[in-house]
Structure formats: structure tokens, C-alpha cells
Amino acid sequence: MEVKKDIEYYMNLDWTLIEGEDLDFEGNPYHYIEIKEIPSFTFCAKTITRARENYKRQLRLTLQVMLECGDHIVEPGEEDDEPDWESLCPG
């Protein structure tokens, strides 16, 4: 039986979260969450707690647009077609 890959399917995947902290244009700290498999995704908030609580709303919107546009959604654990440039380029 084929799995229906709808918005709920993608929302429940174990995405690779990248969390970090940076400074805004005024020098104030903010926290961000990126998703390794979706390079265009970044969610920012004043605290890491707020970022963790709220990034899924933006993720849902991002996935909806990707599905509507027919974009390929790279799933966690799926091989990326992007070459490993570090291993290809001489040191």
C-alpha cells in the first residue's frame, strides 16, 4: 500500500533542526531554527523556547506551498542530489 504524502505526512517527519543564535541589525540577539532538508526554511524568534514552540506553523505553510508547486520535498534520510563539494575539491 502506497503512503499518501500529504501535508500531515510531511509534518510528522523527523526533520533535522539546526538551532542557532545571531544578532539583528540593531545588535539584539535572536534565535533561529533552520531545517537541513529544506534550505529555504528559517524561523526566527526572540527566545529559543518561542522558536521551538512556533516554527511548525511556518513549516506547514512552507510545505503547503511546496506541495502546491509540485516541488520535490527532500525527506530526512533521503540522499541529496547535491554533490559533496568538500570531498570533490582539493584541500
Q: Please, which pLDDT band fits residue 4 given cuts at 50, 70 and 90?
A: confident
Eight-class DSSP state of 71: -
pLDDT tens-digit readout, 5-56? 999 999 999 999 999 999 999 999 999 999 999 999 999 999 999 999 999 9
| Exposure b/e, 29-59, CB count within 10 A at least 16 = b | ebbbbbbebbeebebbbeeeeebeeebeeeb
Domain ranges of the chain: 7-74
R_g (Cα) of the chain, nearest Å: 16
CATH 3.30.160 fits 7-74, yes or no: yes
Q: How far is CA 83 from the centre of its chain?
A: 19
More confident residue, 31 or 88: 31
Distance of alpha carbon 50 from alpha carbon 9, whole angstroms? 24
Residue count of the chain? 91
